Amino acid sequence: MGLLGASLAILLRLAFCFGGYNYDMESYTIVSELALAGANVYEETSRYNYGFFWAAMLAFCRWVGELSGSFDFQTFRIAIVLTLSAVDVALAALLCKRYGLKTGLICLFFPTSVLLTGYHSQMDNFAILWAYCSWIILQQKGRNWRLSAALLGFSLVQKHIFIFFPLWLLFSNHFANWREKIAYVSISYGIFLGSFLPFLGSEMAIKSILANVFGYNSAEGIALLPFIIKKLSLDFHNYLIGYNLYKYLFISSLLGFGFYSRKAKSELFYLYLIAIVAFSSALVNQYLAIPVIALCVKRNVWVWAFMILSSAFLVLRSPAHLGILPFFKQIFELLPLRVFWESIFSLYACQILLLIILFKKTQQKSLSTIKG
Domain assignments of the chain as residue spans, ordered by start: 3-364
**Amino acid letter at 285?**
N
pLDDT class of 134 with cuts at 50, 70, 90 = very high
Q: How confident is the model at residue 282 (pLDDT cuts 50, 70, 90)?
A: confident
* pLDDT classification of 223: cutoffs 50, 70, 90: confident
Q: How confident is the model at residue 19 (pLDDT cuts 50, 70, 90)?
A: low
Which range, 101-115, 226-240, 242-256, has the best average confidence (pLDDT)?
Answer: 101-115
Residue 292, pLDDT score: 94
Phi-psi region of 142 (alpha: psi -120 to 50; beta: other; left: phi over 0): left
> Is-contact 14 82, C-beta < 8 A?
yes
Mean pLDDT of 328-341: 55
Decide if pLDDT at 207 tops 70.
yes
How much is the mean pLDDT over the chain? 82
Other CB atoms within 10 A of residue 11 CB: 11
- Rounded to whole angstroms, the Cα distance separating 318 from 323 reads 9
Residue 139 has pLDDT above 60, yes or no: yes
pLDDT value at 102 more than 70: yes
